[in-house]
């Protein structure tokens, strides 16, 4: 039986702040338990790893079966124009955690391994100060052991998983981190299954206070170190006439789908699914690692490029959000937003203020189907193959694949596959995009551009 919820019934988040009194970010420590009637929703954020725009049935996949995520989309809102923070893991997660795009983020690449700093304000810190109990489970990648960047020093009450991204390549690890302890893992245990068990246990253990669960799965990332796909089996695809890595990848995606379903079933069984907002998305586009060919399962859908590209296939990701009773069922939204919008979105859901100076906007209106403020632009930069930049403004997308190369301009409304280059035909738009590539960023000492942004002398 779900208790009537006055917040859901009548209160906007700003009113909620007043109800909670000192529960905003200025308050020291979590407030005492608030009455159920005024409690903001639980927030669950599930992040897949290298899951492409085309990997889920509800985004056009025809062979890999994802019935639970498809049903989640049918029960909530499915976004068609949501973007990752970056085209690889660590920087994308840094943008997710801090609300900053890559032109301002403290972490802008997988190497060097720069940790989040003590002064960086994460979404977990914002939610914990608003009274939430917070957990991170899975792959972290934003701080090595002993640094300021580890989850327990970045706002998470509970942490279980891989700190190091290289370590996360091994899905049958010898050890994992539990809070600040290294714990042995039973031989042959598949880490993803441990993460699911831990997530279900965390949710079952919550009473009274709202919770934030950040569940960062490692599926369907490859074991890039051993150059293979780690999977406990190929079911239900063992009989398919596909290359072995493609069977393994499909099996992993379906396994994750099943486990997302288990989590949603638990929320319902506990009578809290109407009090819980669940997000599902990916950290970047699909990979070509571990023997996988992203074309085989059409992993990017209709989009151009994969992981490590700033074309759409590298950065546009699935995004499904479910909140029964508040988010209308079976809605499809083309609202343009990005993972750096999650922090202010979560803050508004919690009735808390987001830190000043971030790049993200709250997408709560878009979630609820109300008029939404749009970004003037979205910005990305990437350093692994030389300095690359991309910007999206309205229907236009510009990519520069190296300093000094010509700006490539695409009209995403007419050409989402980025096949027709238009810079010469729209010099005014190209000039505006050039200006954004220059002004959207500040220089980072850890990721020098070697040559100036936008290829200028």
For the bound state, the minimum distance from the C-beta of residue 307 to Ca ion, rounded and expressed in Å, comes to: 7
176 touches Ca ion (CB under 5 A): no
Least Å distance, CB 300 to Ca ion, is 14
- CA gap 437, 434 in Å, rounded: 5
Decide whether 139 or 397 has the Cβ nearer to Ca ion. 139
Q: Which of residues 84-103 bind Ca ion (CB under 5 A)?
A: 89
Nearer to Ca ion, 53 or 396 (CB): 53
Q: Do strands 276-282 and 388-393 pair parallel, antiparallel, or not at all (unpaired)?
A: unpaired
Residue 44 CA to residue 199 CA, distance in Å, equals 10
- Residue (396 or 447) nearer to Ca ion, CB: 447
Q: Which is nearer to Ca ion, 59 or 217 (CB)?
A: 217
Residue the block writes with tokens 């702040």: 17
The whole-angstrom separation of Cα 102 and Cα 340 is 9
Write out the binding residues for Ca ion, residues 150-169 only, by CB under 5 A. none
Asked if 309 is part of the footprint of Ca ion (rule: CB under 5 A), the reply reads no
Minimum CB distance to Ca ion, residue 141 (Å): 9
Site string for Ca ion, 38-57 (x = CB under 5 A): -----------xx-------
Which residue, 245, 232, 250, is CA-closest to 291?
245
* Cα 287 from Cα 299, distance rounded (Å): 9
- Please identify which residue in 5, 86, 171, 284 interacts with Ca ion, judged by CB under 5 A: 284
Contact of 89 with 316, CB cutoff 8 Å: no
Give whichever of 210 and 245 is closer to Ca ion, judged by the CB atom. 245
Answer yes or no whether residue 289 interacts with Ca ion by CB under 5 A.
Answer: no
Distances (CA, A) of 205 to 70, 266, 317, 428: 28, 12, 31, 57
Q: Min. distance of Cβ 376 from Ca ion in angstroms?
A: 27
**Torsion angle defined by CA atoms of residues 447, 453, 455 and 457, in that order, rounded to the nearest 10 degrees:** -100
The neighbouring-strand residues paired with 161 are: 138, 177
At closest approach, how far in Å is the CB of 347 from Ca ion?
25
Q: How far is the CB of 284 from Ca ion (least distance, A)?
A: 5
List helix spans (H) across 281-402: 312-315, 342-350, 364-367
Determine the interface stretch with Ca ion among 180-188, 232-240, 279-287, 331-339 (rule: CB under 5 A). Answer: 279-287
- Point out which residues bind Ca ion (CB under 5 A): 49-50, 89, 283-284
């Amino acid at each position: 039986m779900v208790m009537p919820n006055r917040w859901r019934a009548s209160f906007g988040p700003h009113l909620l702040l007043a109800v909670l009194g000192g529960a905003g970010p200025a308050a020291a420590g979590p407030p005492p338990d608030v009455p159920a009637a005024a409690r903001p929703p639980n927030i669950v954020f599930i992040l897949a790893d290298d899951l492409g725009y085309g990997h889920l049935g509800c985004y056009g996949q025809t062979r890999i079966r994802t019935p639970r995520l498809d049903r989640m989309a049918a029960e909530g809102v499915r976004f068609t124009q949501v973007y990752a923070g970056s085209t690889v893991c660590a920087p994308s997660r840094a943008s997710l955690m801090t609300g900053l795009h890559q032109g301002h983020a403290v972490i802008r690449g997988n190497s060097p391994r720069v940790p989040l700093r003590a002064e960086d304000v994460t979404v977990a810190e914002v939610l914990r100060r608003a009274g939430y109990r917070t957990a991170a489970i899975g792959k972290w990648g934003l701080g090595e052991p002993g640094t300021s960047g580890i989850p327990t020093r970045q706002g998470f009450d509970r942490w279980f998983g891989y700190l190091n991204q290289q370590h996360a390549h091994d899905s049958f690890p010898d050890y994992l981190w539990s809070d600040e302890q290294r714990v042995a893992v039973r031989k042959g245990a598949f880490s993803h299954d441990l993460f699911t068990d831990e997530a279900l246990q965390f949710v079952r253990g919550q009473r009274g206070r709202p919770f934030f669960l950040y569940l960062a799965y490692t599926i369907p990332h490859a074991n890039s170190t051993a150059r293979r796909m780690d999977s406990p089996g190929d079911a239900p695809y063992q009989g398919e006439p596909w290359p072995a890595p493609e069977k393994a990848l499909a099996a992993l995606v379906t396994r994750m789908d099943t486990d997302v379903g288990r989590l949603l079933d638990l929320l319902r069984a506990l009578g809290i699914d109407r009090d819980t907002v669940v997000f599902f998305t990916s950290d970047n586009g699909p990979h070509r690692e571990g023997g996988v060919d992203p074309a085989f399962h059409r992993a990017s859908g209709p989009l151009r490029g994969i992981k490590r590209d700033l074309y759409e296939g590298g950065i546009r990701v699935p995004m499904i959000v479910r909140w029964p009773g508040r988010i209308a069922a079976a809605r499809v939204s083309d609202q343009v937003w990005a993972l750096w919008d999650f922090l202010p979105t979560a803050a508004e859901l919690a009735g808390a203020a987001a830190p000043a100076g971030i790049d993200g906007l709250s997408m709560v209106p878009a979630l609820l189907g109300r008029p939404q403020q749009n970004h003037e632009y979205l910005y990305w930069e990437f350093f692994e193959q030389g300095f690359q930049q991309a910007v999206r403004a309205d229907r236009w997308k510009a990519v520069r694949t190296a300093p000094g190369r010509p700006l490539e301009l695409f009209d995403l409304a007419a050409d989402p596959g980025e096949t027709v280059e238009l810079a010469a035909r729209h010099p005014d738009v190209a000039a505006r995009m050039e200006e954004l590539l220059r002004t959207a960023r500040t220089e980072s000492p850890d990721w020098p551009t070697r040559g100036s942004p936008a290829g200028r002398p």
